[in-house]
Amino acid sequence: MSAKDWIEQKYIKGNGFIFGDYSTVHSTSVKKKAVYSVAFDHKLAGFDSYSSQWCSGYIENCVSFNNNINYQLPYVFEKWSNNWSWDPIKADQFKQNEGLQVPKNKRIATRQFYAIRDRIIDNCNANTFNDNVNFDSVIKKLA
């Protein structure tokens, strides 16, 4: 199975990043962190609470697009900054004071992230990886 086939079978079907689970539904001690994380093309949510109502943590410089719901996080994180969202099927559900940003040109931004995905898949298939994949530079270009 190629890396691309594995990625499509493993990730495209469900959620991207999950914060909490059924065992943490009422736990305030669980802290999660996502920094420079990208979720796209998921049938469920890009970033999901997974029924947990009390987790906390940090979401910074994250991007979520083309998911059923990009951000489904019903609680407030300790740190929430520079997060992006575009083209969800259903509206985002989050309680942050700071909103989600949308790139000026969604089509170009989407194309750039798919290009990075394709380079990662090619590197996995070739069993090599170089360091020319830079999410920070792409996120900075969104504004």
Dihedrals phi, psi of 118, to nearest 5 degrees: -65, -35
> Mapping DSSP to helix (H, G, I), strand (E, B) and coil, where does residue 114 land?
helix
0.95 exceeded by pTM: no
> Mapping DSSP to helix (H, G, I), strand (E, B) and coil, where does residue 40 land?
strand
DSSP states of 50-73 as a string?
TT-SS-EEEEES-EEESSSEEEEE
> Mapping DSSP to helix (H, G, I), strand (E, B) and coil, where does residue 82 land?
coil
What are the extents of the domains in the chain? 3-22+29-102
Tens digits of residue pLDDT in 14-63? 889 988 766 665 666 667 889 999 999 999 999 998 877 777 788 999 99
Tens digits of residue pLDDT in 52-101? 777 778 899 999 999 999 999 877 788 899 999 999 999 988 877 678 99
Report the C-alpha gap between 104 and 42 in whole angstroms: 23
Dihedrals phi, psi of 9, to nearest 5 degrees: -70, -40
pLDDT for 64 equals 95
Report the C-alpha gap between 43 and 20 in whole angstroms: 19
